[in-house]
Structure 1
Amino acid sequence: MVKDKCNMKDDLFVPSIGKSGGLALFWKEGVIVMVQTYSQTHIDALVDGGANVGWWHFTGFYGNPDTAKRPESWAKLKYLKGTSSLPWLTIGDFNEIIGTSEKEGGSDRPRQQMTNFVETINACRLRDLGYTGPKFTWNYGRADSVQIRERLDRALATPEWISLFPLAKLYHLSSSVLDHAPLVLRMTQQPSCIRQKKLFWFESMWLKDQRYDSLIFCKASLEECDALQKVLRVYEEEIKGRFSSNTPTTIKEEIKGRFGAQVIKQHEKYLGLPSLVGRNKRNSFNDIKEKVGKKVAGWKEKMLSKAGKEVLIKAVAQAIPTYTMSCFKIPDSLCDDLTGMIRNF
């Protein structure tokens, strides 16, 4: 049996109907797999990746070969996405392509058929893992000697799963006896650093020494000393100050001379944020509106699905003001403007 030859301990079989269909899932001893649901077209399970990874969601999927029933397959895929919030990987024969470049020979694929698949991928927040090996995974030779080749098999995953396995790679293997190319997914994790840094302990008694205003820690080496001196020189050169409009000019010049400082304008920034926010807050945060506006304008030129637009809004547009909002309360009128721009998109 395949299970014994692959040295697998546990399994789940979904029997075939006649000569078609049939699914199987094998896993090794020590691997914890909790099967959630299964049918003639899918096996859905939760996998324990251990202390460093945690649980993740796995789905082995088979798209309905009948194009009239293909929407049922996409509905099932969306349903399975909603059954878990864990990082998700789905792999299998989806019986569909995402573009004309994934097909050679035979009649053209209906565009709407491919669009439905792409929209389902976007709605499920899935990304294609790519592949190494031959481009096409399915080959069919007709009686009139016309060869049809398509990429029907693939691995898709959410960004969260990709973060867990950033080095994962899918391989398309060759086969002389099967019409589908076997897929092998190697889920290598990011190698962890073996060498551990020596722990540093801060002594609270150092704070009681009145001789020091600041404490600087570095390695006792000439290279560290040179780097520290360079940092201090830059810091000295970049000392800046801002005076209120009521400060007399003579006082300004005296303070500038003592500190060797520069005078900055009100709307200069530090770490991307305004150094001072006055009464006119809209001017201080107007760059947020400009950034969102440029992004939305660029997106409008592209042909995007509804799901694709939703992903861009949540992942990009709504993330732009997050950093500023964590430090300042931006005006309600600016929030209304941003909301309006996103709604119009």
Structure 2
Amino acid sequence: MIEKLGFDNKLVSLFLECVTSVRYRITHADDSYIYCQADKETTLKVISMLHVYEKALGQKLNAAKSSVFFSSNMLQEVRNDICDTLQFHEADENTTYLGLPSILGSNKNDVLGYLKDRMQKGIEGYDKKLLYKVGKKYS
């Protein structure tokens, strides 16, 4: 489906590699996504990594603005345990990120088509700006 929208095969392969495991989840912290196993040991490693992240940035992570995404077949008990450990809330189907749905449901074509159009317009705008600068420099 993604290939039909015109995305590059390498990007499609990378995307599919990320989403083929049903046991992975995504969290985001200050515009960052972390893909990892949904288990206690990995959750503790994520906490450790986030502490390093906080030290490097010199600012504290806002847990109230951070969320965790789970695959649909993840047991609720595991979800609760991970959310409690991280002190993040669980994202639901109404959660958005940068104005787009964070969880793609049956409307994947609409969302991915919208992304493709935005990317193409951005590239076209960048090309026009670049050509304008080149033309200005040589005129």
State the TM bucket, normalised to the shorter chain: 0.3 to 0.5
The higher radius of gyration belongs to 1
TM-score, normalising length: structure 1: 0.17
Which structure has more relative contact order (CA 8 Å, sep 6+)? It is: 2
Instruction: Looking at secondary structure, tell me which structure has more strand per residue.
Output: 1
TM-score, normalising length: structure 2: 0.37
Instruction: Looking at secondary structure, tell me which structure has more helix per residue.
Output: 2
